[in-house]
Structure 1
Amino acid sequence: MMRLVGLATAAGMLVALALAAAPARPAATATALPATQALFSSYVADDKMPGIVGAFGAGDRPTVFVSAGRIADEGDAPAAGPDSLWRVYSMTKPVTAMAAMILIEQGRMRLDQPVSDFIPEFKEMRVQLNPNTIDSRPALRPITIRHLLTHTAGLGYNIITTGPLLRLYESKGLLPGAFNVAMETRMRQLRPTSLQEFARRVAGVPLVADPGTTWRYSMGLDVLAAVIEKAGGMPFDAFVQRRIFDPLGMKSSYWTVPGGAAGRLATTYSFVAGRRIPIDPGATSVFLQPPSFPYGGAGLVMSARDYDRFLHMLQDLGTLDGVTIMRPETARLAMSDLLPPGVRFTSVPGETGGVAGPQMGYGAGGAVILKDANNAFGAGTYAWGGAAGTHAWVNAVRKLRGTIMVNYLPATQWPVRDQTIRALAADLAPRSTR
């Protein structure tokens, strides 16, 4: 993750400088970034992926969109572009986290408030004695909102948990995510049908660690969605729509892709023995049917244009196009290190890759760079990625942001983010010598 965020920050800075050097124009195009365009085109020409879209922005200048290829392998599939739809999976987490920050700003919840104030079943949690048993002991302290925001609640996650605890998760349907219709058919038989029931079931299984003692990737943002429902006084997805998507004009962000937008939905692929295999075709995607409940950790389908608007709001500290989503101090807090005292951001799962460095922290649903000795522009970057290869970063100090949209598993199949950095550097170099 240190490499992910550090390189992403460098990319954002390079784009910021490149765009600052370019003359203003009414609409940004990929011609502003020819090396990046050539790179993206090469991915398609070399048959590494059907298509890819990037959105790069600096300050309030027009976003530069770079795209290549199509949203699926089929010859008649539409070209990939700013409004194509992509499964952003864990890039849902920052959206959920900012919804919580809005409620914190409003005083409807507090950062260090016990979760049990909203969902009483969390009042007396227990901790797994060791990974080989579900035997447990009482937790030393309650889970708080901060813990859910920062993956320090002691919760596990079905995508990384193993052993008897994973089997318990599966038996209770603690499976907050969708991948394709075949898997969904099985998982839906086990999964609860509401966020509140999901949260209550989570409260009934052992934690993997005492709250506030260690960073561990988790379903904390899914539980947080249930808290948002309680504190916000409306369904979680309705709250996000009303307080984030609608005000920002994000018209291509969905928990369920409507039929009229299905033609824009990319196909997700997996790589088997070096071959690209479709695992969730856009035309029949599991995301065309309503989920068991809106997954706050991995449930959104979004366009590059929409995610850029979300990042632009964060870049401008809570306001975009004259619309205020949150106050500047709330946005700064969300993108600062919120880890409990003594806890370090130590690692991330395979979906985002790498190991965190000592100058990394963790904010509201995303990693933050506290200091980067190798890049003077690193401090202040807030970033996260998704299981199917998507990436996003924003630096409110330097006023820059970037999004990359692809849909294949594993996310590490191709070094897209590293190569994009080098391409952006090449785009900048001719300008920097003028």
Structure 2
Amino acid sequence: MPDTLTPTLDRHIDGITVRDLLTNGSGYGMQPGGSPLAAAYRDAGVEAGADPVDSCADDWLVALATLPLAHQPGDGFRYHHGFGILGVLLQRFAGIPVEEYLRRVVFDPLGMPDTSLFVPEDQAHRLPAAYRHGESGLEEAEPLGGGFYVGEPPFDTAHGELVSTAADYHRLCRMLADGGRHEGDPFLDPDLVREMTRDQVPESVKTPDSFFPGFWDGIGWGYGGSVATGGEHEGRYAWSGGQGTDFYIDPDGTISVFLTQVELGDAMWPVLGEVQANAASLLEG
């Protein structure tokens, strides 16, 4: 294994590059609500959402491939599905389950014992419930200590989501904040970290229909996360995941990790904004 991890970003996959997948530019991804393509995603069973995946990686990829691209690769922005495709690609490239590969090259070296595609059954008591906002308030989406993520998945979830802890999340963020170094030793190529954390999306791609209204106001996209392109927090690398996870890394090395287990929606955005503001004020104090 090399001392640093430096993937080839221009590897082509039928005209779609790894760079396209990292920057949500593949042409696959979340579509504007009510559009015919959004309905087609729903009918094909590949609509994005906070619920666990419900089909194996190969079947998911085949279903996705039946749908047209929203735009030519590199010519637009559609969030979400590129990361699932990357998981399948990484597994095929490695020749071993993506869970095992990530464990070998990322989780174990960084000291992230609790990050995985599932929670071992003997650790199920540590898994909190997951919620979403419904008509009557918070509704349980995944039970305490149970649900899809407990025990090995019943099918290949290379396209799925990870479970983790605040401590593990912080270790990953700390490595990025330290320019790719972990406990003083090289881990990621510093040039790659700089590329990850700068805006990679051209202005022509930042259209109102590419994501939710106002998203591009002072925001760009790097590799796998958003980048503040102006304002008080210029250079901040961050993202808020669908199940209410939120992190940011500021250029000065400041890190915030906030895990809510509540599906993102209109009720949650003000909460995340308040947490970010309070974290900043605590540091200033």
Q: TM-score, normalised by structure 1?
A: 0.58
Aligned to 1:319: 181
- Measure the CA separation in 2 of the matches of 1:276 and 1:167: 27
Residue pair 1:337, 1:362 contacting (<8 A) in 2 also: yes
Compared CA separation, residues 238 and 381, structure 1 to 2 (3 A) = same
- Measure the CA separation in 2 of the matches of 1:407 and 1:225: 23
- Measure the CA separation in 2 of the matches of 1:357 and 1:166: 21
1:113 aligns with 2:11: yes
Aligned to 1:409: 263
Aligned to 1:248: 110
Aligned to 2:30: 157
Aligned to 1:293: 156
Larger Rg: 1
1:102 aligns with 2:102: no
Compared CA separation, residues 411 and 319, structure 1 to 2 (3 A) = farther
Aligned to 1:69: none
Aligned to 2:144: 282
Residue pair 1:266, 1:281 contacting (<8 A) in 2 also: yes
Aligned to 1:85: none
- Measure the CA separation in 2 of the matches of 1:405 and 1:148: 25
Deviation at 1:305, TM superposition (A): 0.5
Say what the alpha-carbon RMSD is for the aligned residues.
2.9
Match of 1:335 among 171, 176, 197: 197
- Measure the CA separation in 1 of the matches of 2:267 and 2:50: 21
Residue pair 1:176, 1:222 contacting (<8 A) in 2 also: no
Residue pair 2:129, 2:144 contacting (<8 A) in 1 also: yes
Aligned to 1:398: 252
Q: Superposition pairs for residues 4-403 of structure 1, below 5 Å?
A: 102-104=5-7, 110-116=8-14, 142-157=15-30, 162=34, 164-166=36-38, 168-170=40-42, 172-174=44-46, 179=51, 187=54, 191=55, 193=56, 195-289=57-151, 290=153, 292-296=155-159, 299-339=161-201, 342-344=204-206, 355-372=214-231, 375=232, 378-395=233-250, 397-403=251-257
Counterpart of 1:216 in structure 2: which amino acid? Answer: R
Select the structure with the greater relative contact order (CA < 8 A; seq sep ≥ 6).
1
- Measure the CA separation in 2 of the matches of 1:412 and 1:151: 23
Compared CA separation, residues 390 and 413, structure 1 to 2 (3 A) = same
Post-superposition CA distance 1:253-296 (Å, at most 9, x none): 12111111111111112222342222211232211141633354
- Measure the CA separation in 2 of the matches of 1:219 and 1:306: 24
Residue pair 1:179, 1:286 contacting (<8 A) in 2 also: no
- Measure the CA separation in 2 of the matches of 1:382 and 1:176: 23
Compared CA separation, residues 363 and 291, structure 1 to 2 (3 A) = farther
Stretches of structure 2 lacking an aligned partner (at least 5 in a row):
none
- When structure 1 is superposed on structure 2, of 384-393 and 162-171 the one drifting more is 162-171
Residue pair 1:345, 1:356 contacting (<8 A) in 2 also: no
Stretches of structure 1 lacking an aligned partner (at least 5 in a row):
1-100, 105-109, 117-141
SS of the counterpart of 1:212?
coil
SS of the counterpart of 1:278?
strand
Compared CA separation, residues 291 and 156, structure 1 to 2 (3 A) = farther
Compared CA separation, residues 272 and 168, structure 1 to 2 (3 A) = closer
Compared CA separation, residues 319 and 291, structure 1 to 2 (3 A) = farther
Counterpart of 1:149 in structure 2: which amino acid? Answer: L
Aligned to 1:6: none
Identity percentage of aligned residues:
27
Compared CA separation, residues 232 and 368, structure 1 to 2 (3 A) = same
